[in-house]
Amino acid sequence: MWQVPRTMATQHPDNARVPSWVNGQGVIAGDDEVTEAYLAFSELGVQEVMWDSEGKDVDTHVVRKLLTQHPEYFRDYVLGRDVFLTYRLPNPSIEGVDRKVFAETLESIPITYDVAERFYGEGVTTPVFEVILPFTTGFRELEALVSYYEKAVAGKEDIRLTEELTVRDIIGEFRPKKIAAIPLIEDMQSMLGINGIIEPFIKKFSPPYMRVFLARSDPAMNYGMVPAVLMVKIALNRLQKISEKFGIRIYPIIGVGSLPFRGGFSPVNVQGSLEEYKGVWTFTVQSAFRYDYPQDTVSEAIRLINYTKPSEPDEVVNEEALVSSIKKLTERYQREVESMASLINAVSVHIPKRRARKLHIGLFGYSRSTGHVVLPRAITFVASLYSIGLPPELLGLYALDGLKNEEWNAVITFYKRLTSDLKLSLRYFRSESLNDLVRFGVVPEETANMIMEDVRYAEEVLNIKPGPDDYDSVKHRLLSELVVHALKEKRESELKEIIKEMALLRRSLG
């Protein structure tokens, strides 16, 4: 059995600081991403890199470039054996315009095999053998992915072109013959119904192991921070039970960013994350984690994760109480966010770009049949709210007051770092922002009153005093005042620089 990676570098554009090796104007693109992958392996000690073709153009010749540009390193660390490259595909049922990119990316896998064979010799390694399918909502999507590769990619080598010639005769054998599919679970229905996705796949394909990717960032944007954490806990518990039921190892991956709303996984909070997310095998090491902290701190944090044995997940005894809590908390959170959608979108256009991405929006509340509002993706969403002094961790918090005793006990039992996460984020709260935004006519007074209820709950019940507590958070508060007034005065040329400075203080864009 190969060593399943503990750390996965991703291309999430959440970094505030621009790395020195970036050639563009703060935007990582093209060959920069090839350099980035090499540095993640060689300098930071990351064990796996996610090569992302969802929502952006991607270089499908990455394996050739890595091996030819850095031969000494990859002679010592064999790609596909010691360090790993894993493709994330666009989901053809969601990203309609990128359906052919799904096909193109899968078609490149046999090419990577041929390149690696010329570099390492015959049969040494398969450089790419797993792919991630975003927004997986059912077993059939995984079945179609695996079957597409086997039949439409590797399987076409047997197509007869003439009486004497097959495709294999002209362009050679296609390897690998099969790939492993990693479902990325992102919405509430799929997270809480994970058995219906994973169990049929195991029954049909009998894989020797499975990796299952649990989103943490998009669920927070769609349902709130607390529901996102609780959903992951339920899913981890269920995956453990599925593993025991079928007798195969399941290795969960969690997609976590640096700020509490998106996971709270930073180089200075590794131990807390390992404790919070028991049962997780692989943690995503996103851009802010890698570039917004000193490199020695980053490398040491990654080393700690790589060599710490994962714990089994906490057993969920009262799942019914957790699910009912999630629904109550989600309802209030969504009401507050929906009423601020126009404001969030207005701020989002001023958030600095860190990756060359195609136009890509998030559909807030996509699990519901009505009341949809369009919002930016999660990183930009978080950055927008922090920039106006309203950390998203705060939103919907007052709904905790309406929980029954058994629901409250379930929440505080399974979200161990709730108060710690809130303390970290609420340092950046600016109370005057609400008054200003109501006065400027961009936030309804009813919404402002609801958010102040959230604030009072944090202060009076959870004993957390919102507001700055050190120099950086005081400076952040002053800059958020400038952002609010610059928005009103339409001083657009100043906004991006102020927002960038605030992100540097937080050590994350969003």
Mean pLDDT, rounded, of the chain:
93
Mean pLDDT for the stretch of residues 272-287: 97
What burial class does residue 413 get, using C-beta atoms within 10 Å of its C-beta: 0-12 exposed, 13-18 middle, 19+ buried?
middle
Query: With 70 as the cut, is the pLDDT of residue 54 above it?
Result: no
In this predicted structure, what is the pLDDT of residue 30?
Answer: 84
In this predicted structure, what is the pLDDT of residue 26?
Answer: 80
- Give the model's confidence band at 57: pLDDT under 50 very low, under 70 low, under 90 confident, else very high: low
Which neighbouring-strand residues pair with 251?
211
Residue 364: which H helix or E strand, with range? strand 362-364
Mean pLDDT for the stretch of residues 57-81: 93
DSSP conformation letters of 284-309: EE-HHHHHSS-HHHHHHHHHHHHTSP
- Asked if residues 500 and 353 have their Cβ atoms less than 8 Å apart, the reply is no
Separation CA 128–CA 463 (nearest Å): 49
In this predicted structure, what is the pLDDT of residue 364?
Answer: 54
**Helix axes of 225-246 and 195-205: crossing angle, nearest 10 degrees:** 30
- Asked if residues 416 and 277 have their Cβ atoms less than 8 Å apart, the reply is no
- Asked if residues 365 and 372 have their Cβ atoms less than 8 Å apart, the reply is yes
In this predicted structure, what is the pLDDT of residue 379?
Answer: 96
Separation CA 386–CA 393 (nearest Å): 10
Which residue in 56, 68, 71 sits closest to 105, CA to CA?
56
Tokens 């954490």, residue located: 229
Contacts of residue 47, defined as CB under 8 A and 6 or more positions apart, other chains included, come to: 3, 5, 6, 7, 8, 83, 84, 306
The pLDDT tens digits of the residues spanning 405-444 come to: 999 999 999 999 999 999 999 999 999 999 999 999 999 9
In this predicted structure, what is the pLDDT of residue 93?
Answer: 87
Which residue in 217, 308, 266, 246 sits closest to 16, CA to CA?
266
- Give the model's confidence band at 1: pLDDT under 50 very low, under 70 low, under 90 confident, else very high: very low
In the chain, what percentage of residues exceed pLDDT 90?
Answer: 85
Separation CA 456–CA 451 (nearest Å): 9
- Give the model's confidence band at 361: pLDDT under 50 very low, under 70 low, under 90 confident, else very high: very low
Query: With 50 as the cut, is the pLDDT of residue 365 above it?
Result: no
The pLDDT tens digits of the residues spanning 136-164 come to: 999 999 999 999 999 999 999 999 999 99
Tell me if residue 220 falls in helix, strand or coil: helix
- Asked if residues 298 and 44 have their Cβ atoms less than 8 Å apart, the reply is yes
Separation CA 398–CA 463 (nearest Å): 14
- Give the model's confidence band at 2: pLDDT under 50 very low, under 70 low, under 90 confident, else very high: low
**Helix axes of 341-348 and 319-339: crossing angle, nearest 10 degrees:** 70
Tokens 């920069």, residue located: 32
Query: With 60 as the cut, is the pLDDT of residue 362 above it?
Result: no
- Asked if residues 282 and 251 have their Cβ atoms less than 8 Å apart, the reply is yes
The pLDDT tens digits of the residues spanning 322-359 come to: 999 999 999 999 999 999 999 999 999 999 998 876 54
- Give the model's confidence band at 59: pLDDT under 50 very low, under 70 low, under 90 confident, else very high: confident
Which residue in 276, 188, 198, 189 sits closest to 238, CA to CA?
198
Mean pLDDT for the stretch of residues 27-39: 91
C-beta atoms surrounding 486 within 10 Å = 18
Please tell me the pTM assigned to this model.
0.95
CA dihedral (330, 336, 338, 344) positive or negative: negative
Separation CA 499–CA 480 (nearest Å): 8
Query: With 90 as the cut, is the pLDDT of residue 360 above it?
Result: no
Query: With 90 as the cut, is the pLDDT of residue 273 above it?
Result: yes
Buried b (16+ CB within 10 A) or exposed e, 162-185: eeeeebeeeeeebbbeebbbbbbb
- Asked if residues 480 and 389 have their Cβ atoms less than 8 Å apart, the reply is yes
Contacts of residue 72, defined as CB under 8 A and 6 or more positions apart, other chains included, come to: none
In this predicted structure, what is the pLDDT of residue 29?
Answer: 82
- Asked if residues 75 and 111 have their Cβ atoms less than 8 Å apart, the reply is no
In this predicted structure, what is the pLDDT of residue 108?
Answer: 95
Contacts of residue 348, defined as CB under 8 A and 6 or more positions apart, other chains included, come to: 375, 376, 380, 381, 383, 384
Mean pLDDT for the stretch of residues 487-497: 91
Tell me if residue 225 falls in helix, strand or coil: helix
Separation CA 373–CA 336 (nearest Å): 12
Q: Write out the two tokens for 207.
A: 């894989």
Which residue in 46, 126, 130 sits closest to 87, CA to CA?
130
